[in-house]
């Protein structure tokens, strides 16, 4: 009688859990400067995915079915996490899986919060930098203003969410993001990792879930267009800044970023990270 062994090219879930802990330990001991710079890169990379999603869906509202538009946005947005994982960067939402190392008692609460705080700030700075560069490039005027109109519509929709709704959408989002990261722990090649990322990330975007780091680009970029775009741009899209009443700095910070961040931690850290810790690592704690 022979026993079928797992493929040498793939790690099974228990080994993935061990790998997650080791990655969490390594992340917890990163230097402040390295974590911040890698966080900036991740913010920029996610912003690139957001830009890709915005451009490919610009002007499609009256041409394609809603589901098709969302699918196109989701597939385009996968670029962001692919760049983070394959290129190497520190993403706050993915780092919520560090709760596995914390629950295993391999890193302290202070080390966990230190990483999250530095990386979150780096993600914000990187995202804002790309938003400013994007605005100064005047790319929002492309497609006879269709790109900018899409940016404004996205920003207005995100800042119109209720607090509880934003938390719930944040939970669902980071369950999928952390599942994507978790699945990459199984693969050993670049192709493995890319394929593991595509479906979960495309799903969260297509479903309209909320990602805190993505919103660090989406909403500030829309705010820049609303407040500083040339009047000729608004004439081209037959809109005015007052047509986006919910798109404010306050709604960005308190109405979206805060509840979405809370939801992301719950969804990715607790529902995914602690769930897999309980299943595969709790007896070793």
Question: For residues 122 and 42, is the Cβ–Cβ distance under 8 A?
Answer: yes
Beta-carbon neighbour count of residue 270 at 10 Å? 15
Residue 285 has pLDDT above 70, yes or no: no
**What angle, rounded to 10 degrees, do the helices at 146-158 and 32-57 form?**
120
- Is residue 148 within 8 Å of residue 228, measured between CB atoms? no
- pLDDT at position 284, please? 67
pLDDT band at 2 (very low <50, low <70, confident <90, very high): very low
Query: Which structural domains are found in the chain, ordered by start?
Result: 13-284 (1.20.1080.10)
- pLDDT tens by residue, 273-284: 999 999 999 986
Q: Is the pTM for the entire model greater than 0.85?
A: yes
pLDDT tens across 185-244, in order?
A: 999 899 999 999 999 999 999 999 999 999 999 999 999 999 999 999 999 999 999 999
70-119: pLDDT as tens digits: 999 999 999 999 999 999 999 999 999 999 999 999 999 999 999 999 99
69 pLDDT above the threshold of 80: yes
Q: What is the DSSP string of 121-132?
A: HHHHHHHHHHHH
Phi, psi of 61 (to 5 degrees): -55, -45
Cα–Cα distance measured from residue 99 to residue 109, given in angstroms and rounded to the nearest whole number:
9
């Amino acid at each position: 009688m022979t026993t079928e062994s797992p493929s040498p090219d793939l790690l099974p879930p228990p080994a993935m859990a061990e790998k997650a802990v080791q990655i969490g330990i390594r992340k917890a001991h990163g230097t402040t400067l390295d974590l911040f710079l890698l966080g900036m890169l991740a913010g920029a990379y996610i912003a690139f995915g957001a830009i890709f999603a915005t451009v490919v869906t610009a002007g499609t509202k009256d041409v394609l079915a809603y589901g098709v538009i969302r699918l196109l946005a989701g597939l385009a947005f996968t670029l962001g996490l692919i760049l983070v994982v394959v290129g190497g960067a520190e993403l706050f939402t993915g780092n919520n899986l560090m709760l596995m190392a914390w629950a295993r008692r391999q890193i302290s609460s202070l080390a966990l919060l230190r990483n999250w705080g530095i990386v979150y700030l780096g993600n914000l700075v990187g995202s804002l930098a790309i938003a400013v560069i994007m605005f100064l490039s005047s790319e929002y005027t492309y497609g006879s203003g269709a790109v900018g109109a899409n940016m404004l519509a996205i920003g207005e929709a995100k800042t119109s969410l209720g607090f509880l709704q934003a938390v719930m959408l944040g939970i669902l989002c980071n369950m999928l993001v952390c599942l994507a990261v978790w699945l990459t722990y199984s693969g050993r090649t670049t192709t493995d990792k890319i394929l593991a990322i595509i479906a979960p990330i495309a799903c969260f975007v297509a479903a309209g879930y909320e990602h805190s780091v993505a919103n660090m680009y989406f909403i500030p970029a829309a705010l820049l267009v609303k407040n500083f775009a040339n009047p000729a741009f608004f004439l081209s899209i037959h809109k005015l800044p007052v047509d986006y009443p919910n798109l404010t700095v306050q709604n960005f910070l308190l109405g979206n970023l805060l509840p979405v961040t809370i939801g992301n931690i719950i969804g990715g850290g607790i529902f995914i990270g602690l769930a897999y810790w309980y299943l595969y690592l709790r007896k070793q704690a």
